[in-house]
Structure 1
Amino acid sequence: MYPAQWEAITVVDELTGEQTFRVRALSPMQTHNSFYPMVDMANGHIRVGMHSPDENPLPVGDIQLQIDNHYRFLIKQADMPYYLQQQIDITPRILAGHGPYLNNSKRAQRDQLQLSFSTATAKALNTTSPYTVATGNIAKHLFNLMLTGNFLEYKVFATTQHDIWALSFRC
């Protein structure tokens, strides 16, 4: 077990583009090329999870956090709230040249087509997120455990772009 140093920083959130106050844990075994635990506050809501390396951002994927001997929390990237997932609208590029078809379509059909493109894009981009976090009551519970706990153990499950990572350290 290595003692962690908690560092407070102000960053522009990679997914929402908003200024965010973040606290991250770095241990002597970690470098700026390591995944690290993070706690931040965005729009008055706490988020607890893992962030990819600053120097070489990678998709984080699913994570597992455990404080002391408490329950191991599995946080899936697919379960992150929609507003935290990258938002890119690819519809205009894909539908270019289909104007006559769209103009003759019913509004409900156009809306359904737009929704299907937006949903597919969000799901595809979700796999490239530089962090995975819990929000709401789970984040509050994890944060309270971190405040009173002694050890934080985390696991970042393997993705197509990195192997599994696991580390334990003192809070």
Structure 2
Amino acid sequence: MKAIYAIVSILTLSGCVATPSLSPKVEWISKTNIDEFTDKQTCSVTVGSLYSQNSVYTYNNHYYPYIDVVNGKARVGIRSGGKIKIPVGDVQIRIDSNKAWTISSSETPLDYVPEGTMSSIDAYAKNLPKQNQALLKDTYKTTMETAVKAMSPFTATTGNKAKNILREMLTGEVIKYRTIGLNQAASSTGEYKLGESLKTALKQCGVDIDQEA
């Protein structure tokens, strides 16, 4: 009887060891998101920490490289994962042995700034002399936008800089990245392989691979 139990135990352990090989490999995927209030459509290309047959998962307090395609234009950067999003701040990206790219939070595109705060400052500004009203509104708007970017759960760049980073990604093998602390390199680093899955996912988001490469 003990011998039978031993054989069953060995078979069970063998099955557990073999299971990971059946799991999907880490690769770049595309996902289309539609804002349920504005109907704005965004196609994202990214990676994750845990893959299943039908889903990919990210962890809280972890950062992931991504490409967003918004209105046909690409954004390249780093964003926080998990359900609880945290600010990203300035980041560095390096593809293979190429020179590292630094993306500042100030470059991050603004998708939404609470309008209520601007309404409050408008109510206050109307009590000031006219020559001071515009100055106050502009100063307050700039301050709010800076604060929103600094607290954003993603940091990204657009335009030619995004295109140049994307070109390196399409011809490179590995992307390394890290967040940057105040006057120091933070410990939040990561690394992912590039390759055919990236090209496939970008095509699914409508990016012209031949043109970018």
Q: Kindly indicate whether the alpha-carbon contact (under 8 Å) linking 1:86 and 1:122 is maintained by their aligned counterparts in 2.
A: no
Show the counterpart of 1:25: 47
Query: TM-score, normalised on structure 1?
Result: 0.78
Q: Kindly indicate whether the alpha-carbon contact (under 8 Å) linking 2:122 and 2:137 is maintained by their aligned counterparts in 1.
A: no
Q: Which has the higher helix share?
A: 2
Show the counterpart of 2:108: 80
1:124 aligns with 2:150: no
Higher gyration radius (CA): 2
Q: Kindly indicate whether the alpha-carbon contact (under 8 Å) linking 1:85 and 1:125 is maintained by their aligned counterparts in 2.
A: no
Cα deviation code 1:44-84 (max 9, x no counterpart): 21111101113110111011111111110011112335xx2
**What secondary structure sits across from 1:157 in the alignment?**
strand
Q: Give the distance between the partners of 2:125 and 2:80, measured in 1 at CA.
A: 39
**What secondary structure sits across from 1:66 in the alignment?**
strand
1:61 aligns with 2:89: yes
Sequence identity of aligned pairs in percent?
31
Give the CA RMSD over aligned residues. Answer: 2.7
Instruction: Say which structure, 1 or 2, has more relative contact order (CA 8 Å, 6+ apart).
Output: 1
* Alpha carbons of structure 1 residues 67 and 27: separation in structure 2 relative to 1, 3 Å: farther
1:93 aligns with 2:120: yes
* Alpha carbons of structure 1 residues 151 and 4: separation in structure 2 relative to 1, 3 Å: farther
**What secondary structure sits across from 1:91 in the alignment?**
helix
Query: TM-score, normalised on structure 2?
Result: 0.64
Q: Give the distance between the partners of 1:97 and 1:67, measured in 2 at CA.
A: 49
Structure 1 position 138, deviation (Å): 1.2
Structure 1 position 93, deviation (Å): 2.5
Cα deviation code 1:102-147 (max 9, x no counterpart): 4xx32x4322221122111111222111111121111111111111
Q: Give the distance between the partners of 2:172 and 2:82, measured in 1 at CA.
A: 26
Q: Which runs of no fewer than 5 residues in structure 2 stay unpaired?
A: 1-24, 52-56, 195-213
